[in-house]
Every structure is written in C-alpha cells, then in structure tokens.
Amino acid sequence: MSELNLANAAEFAIDYAKKQGIDQSEVSLHQGTGVSVGARQQELETVEKHNDAQFVISVYKDHKTGSASSADMSEQGIRSTVDAAISIARYTGADECFGLGDAGRMASSKLDLDLHHAWNADEAQMLDIAMRCEQAALESSDLITNSEGASVNSYSGSAVYANSHGFLSESLGSQHSISCSVIGSDDGGMQRDYWYDSNRNASNLDSAEEIGQVAARRTVARLGARQIASCEATVMYDSAMAKSLISHLIGAIKGGSIYKKASFMLDKVGEEVLPSFMTIAENPHKPGASSSAWHDNEGLATPEYRAIVEAGRLESYVLGSYTARKLGLESTANSGGVRNLSVTNTGQTTQQLLQEMGTGLLVTELIGSGINMVTGDYSRGAAGFWIENGEIQYPVEEITVAGNLLDMYRNIVSIGNDYDNRGSTECGSIVIDNMTIAGS
C-alpha cells in the first residue's frame, strides 16, 4: 500500500468523499516526530521516540455530519476512514448550521509566521542538557534532597488542512521544552515544585541551569508552609496563575457554551465584564508564538489583531462557523480556539503590586477544578505566600480561594507588567479584592 504525502492524502480523501456523493468535506492531517529524554539523580532515566500521524475527516451531507480518524494514511486506510464518517452521517440529525466555513472567507494569503525551528540536538546532547538542568537544581541548596528529574523534549511536525472549497494549507511547526522538578525537605516535611520553558525555537529557551535554579528556588520557598485561618482578603495571582483567570473567561464566551445557554457570560456582549483598564486581544499573526496561524481550523483568514474585551467591555463571543450560525452571528475565525492573547497591564512590577496590596495572599499554585461554568461559582485549592507590609511573610498551603468569577473579574484592582512569556497568553500578575480564603 502506498503512503501518500499529507497534501496528496488530503486531496485524495476529499476527492473520494465527493465521489461517494458527499456535499462538503474537510480534512486535517498531521505527522511529526519527537524525542524526549529524562534524567534523574544525574543518570539517564528514559529515552522516548515519538512518531505520530493522524488523519481526521468530517463530511457533510444534507446538513448532517459525521467524522472519523485514523493513523493509516494509505489509500485503503483513507477510503475506509472516509466510509466510516459517511456511515455516521447517515444517522446523525440534520442541522442547517452544519457545513464548511463560508467560501468567501477562506484565507487567501499565506503568511510566514516563523513556526518551525528544527532542533538538531541528538539524544546525548539532550541528556547533557537535562543533566545540567537537574544538577543546577540539586546544587543550589542543601535543602534540595531529592528529585523527580529533568526532561528535555523536542517535537517537529507538519500539518495540512484542506476542504472541498478547494482550500489547502500546509505548514510546519516545532515545539521544544526543558523542565525540572525537585523535592526539598526540612523538619516540616517535603515540598515539590517545578519550572519549565517551552518555545518553537530551542535557542530561545532559558538556559538549563536557569530553569533548574528557578525550580529549586520555588521548592525551597515552599518549605515550612502552613495553613492560615479562614478570612476575606485581597489575592494576587502570580503571572503564571493569572492566565487561568483569562482562560476561564475565554471558555465562558465560546460559542458552544453560549448557544447551549451553559455559561455565566451568556448575554454579556456589550457589557462591562472587566475593569475599564483591561483589554484582552488575540494576535494570531505574532511571529514564532505558540498558537500563531494565518487561518483558523476551518480555513477562515485570521485577523492580525482582534480585541475580545475592549476597555472592560465584552466585544464578542468566540465563534467558529457552526456556533456563529446557531447564534445568527458571523464567525470570529476562532475554530480551534483563540490565538496568542495579550492582556493590558496597569504598569506595576511584581514588587510594586505587592507593595500596593500591603496585606493579602500571593497565589503561586492552584489545584483542582472547582469551577461551575454555568454560574461562575469558583473554589480552588491554592498554595502561595502570605503578604504583610508588601513583603512575603511565610509560605501557605492547604487553603482554598473562592468567589464568583463575575464578581472576581469586576474586583480586579491591578495587573502587573511582569509577563510570563511561556505559552500563548501574555498576562501579568492579577490582584483581586474581596476573595474568601478557607483554611483552619
């Protein structure tokens, strides 16, 4: 059986679906290779080689849809996958809103967004990086007593999206990372923390030593953590944790939850949902960023910039073609999600935010998923530091922070300029008034 290259496989699939009498179809395919090397206690622990391939087709016939996927990209494999999708579309219900994105909005100009940087490190070099990373962590304090190790990952792959409008896009992408997790201990017991960096270009990664040192510093800082008494307090989410608040907001304005009326952000377009100093925008064409793309997952051209929340006001939901049609709106080219969010700040550094807060809780880790997306009720496990006079007093654990997201968003008092550059959301630390902390 002959293996096709991705673009040929895509065309073969669309052509075959058409011959079976399908009205419209779309396919996405990817193929990639990865290596991950882990070291622990200064010895090689694991070497894993990844080799992924996946082919997904969705077909539309008489306003019904079905989809199927497989790793088998031989002609026979593609035919049977398409047949499976067609078979499913016989039994699903008809909905006028199903179908490809509007033909007139297909992206026409391909942009080079600097998404692919192969990393030519071999396993021995990756092992060396992992060892140096862990060594830096182990050596940075006598209180670091054990390790979960350091790992280095590299992935590089190609992807194709095509649909029966005749749209076809081929792209290459890469992602590389270094991470480290170590254990510290003292009379009060053990604590673990970690640090990582991730980038499409390995030469932009923080140094192995720096990542190891940050992991160790974070771990040591948690030693001696205690529970505090329940109280109402101002809470500062550090820049890594603050992203979760932005992500809950985006989740709540996704078309799928809106048309099912399953969101606390229902009917909020046009309303002030955040303080007026906050603008949240997506930047899909940002070079080298982790979610950059010149078209969305349905081929629609993405904008260079789009404000989702402008000066506190919710401008629009986050929509793909189906959910837009359900709501009688236009797609916002967000099939596949939002791309590279930026959140404005109020100009303070981390230190200045702490000073302004005076007394309160700095949250550096959240665990659990206690969020009701229908009502916005929020309650999550947290760890961090108690702050008085703008300074860290002691580490805190085994507490929860709770509120309602609608109130929490309105109660944001400031956002720092201390961006965490990892990942696709650029956001500083966020300070929120009037949250409930549960403890002893």
What are the φ and ψ backbone dihedral angles of 328, each rounded to 5 degrees?
Answer: 70, 30
Q: Which is nearer to another protein, 329 or 402 (CB)?
A: 402
Tell me the window of 48-56, 112-120, 172-180, 288-296 that interacts with another protein (CB under 8 A): 48-56
| C-alpha span between 389 and 392 (Å, rounded) | 8
Q: Is 189 in the site for another protein (CB under 8 A)?
A: yes
- Count the neighbouring beta carbons within 10 Å of the beta carbon of residue 140: 19
Q: Which is nearer to another protein, 57 or 353 (CB)?
A: 57
Question: What is the DSSP secondary-structure string of 252-287?
Answer: HTBHHHHHTT--TTTT-TTSB-S-TT--EEE-TT-T
Q: 269 and 239 in contact (C-beta within 8 Å)?
A: no
| Residue list 149-188, contact with another protein (CB under 8 A) | 183
What is the nearest approach in angstroms of another protein to the Cβ of residue 307? 28
| C-alpha span between 426 and 263 (Å, rounded) | 24
What is the nearest approach in angstroms of another protein to the Cβ of residue 48? 5
What are the φ and ψ backbone dihedral angles of 85, each rounded to 5 degrees?
Answer: -65, -40
**Residue 224 exposed, middle or buried by CB count within 10 Å (0-12, 13-18, 19+):** middle
What are the φ and ψ backbone dihedral angles of 214, each rounded to 5 degrees?
Answer: -65, -40
Choosing from 15, 48, 62, 388, the residue that interacts with another protein (CB under 8 A) is 48
Choosing from 7, 53, 143, 168, the residue that interacts with another protein (CB under 8 A) is 53
Site string for another protein, 376-415 (x = CB under 8 A): -x-xxx-x-------------xxxxxxxx-----------
Residues touching another protein, count (CB under 8 A): 76
| C-alpha span between 370 and 220 (Å, rounded) | 28
Choosing from 40, 200, 248, 306, the residue that interacts with another protein (CB under 8 A) is 40
Q: Is 52 in the site for another protein (CB under 8 A)?
A: yes
Task: Rounding to the nearest 10 degrees, give the CA dihedral for residues 278, 280, 285, 289.
Answer: 90
Choosing from 204, 351, 359, 375, the residue that interacts with another protein (CB under 8 A) is 375
Encode burial over 232-259: b for 16+ CB neighbours within 10 A, e otherwise: ebbbbbbbbbbbbbbbbbbbbbbbbbbb
| Residue list 230-249, contact with another protein (CB under 8 A) | 230-232
Choosing from 5, 15, 76, 90, the residue that interacts with another protein (CB under 8 A) is 90
Q: Which is nearer to another protein, 232 or 388 (CB)?
A: 232
Choosing from 4, 10, 225, 314, the residue that interacts with another protein (CB under 8 A) is 225
Q: Which is nearer to another protein, 352 or 434 (CB)?
A: 434
| Residue list 251-280, contact with another protein (CB under 8 A) | 260-262, 266
Calculate the CA 370 to chain-centre distance: 19
Q: Is 228 in the site for another protein (CB under 8 A)?
A: no
Q: Which amino acid is at 343?
A: V
Tell me the window of 59-67, 102-110, 209-217, 290-298 that interacts with another protein (CB under 8 A): 59-67
Task: Rounding to the nearest 10 degrees, give the CA dihedral for residues 247, 252, 254, 255.
Answer: 180
Choosing from 5, 76, 125, 227, the residue that interacts with another protein (CB under 8 A) is 227
Q: Which is nearer to another protein, 70 or 290 (CB)?
A: 70
Tell me the window of 43-51, 130-138, 198-206, 300-308 that interacts with another protein (CB under 8 A): 43-51
Which residues, listed in sequence order, are joined to residue 39 by a DSSP beta bridge?
A: 44, 150
Q: Which is nearer to another protein, 67 or 207 (CB)?
A: 67
Site string for another protein, 300-339 (x = CB under 8 A): ----------------------------------------
What is the nearest approach in angstroms of another protein to the Cβ of residue 46? 5
Structure tokens at 275: 């303080």
Q: Is 128 in the site for another protein (CB under 8 A)?
A: no
Q: Which is nearer to another protein, 294 or 386 (CB)?
A: 386
Instruction: For residue 343, give every residue at least 6 positions away whose Cβ sits within 8 Å of its Cβ, in sequence order, or none.
Output: 246, 278, 279, 280, 415, 425, 426, 427, 428
Instruction: For residue 15, give every residue at least 6 positions away whose Cβ sits within 8 Å of its Cβ, in sequence order, or none.
Output: none
Q: Is 421 in the site for another protein (CB under 8 A)?
A: no
Q: Which is nearer to another protein, 258 or 341 (CB)?
A: 258
Tell me the window of 39-47, 112-120, 293-301, 344-352 that interacts with another protein (CB under 8 A): 39-47
Of 339, 316, 320, the C-alpha closest to 331 is: 320
| C-alpha span between 116 and 120 (Å, rounded) | 12
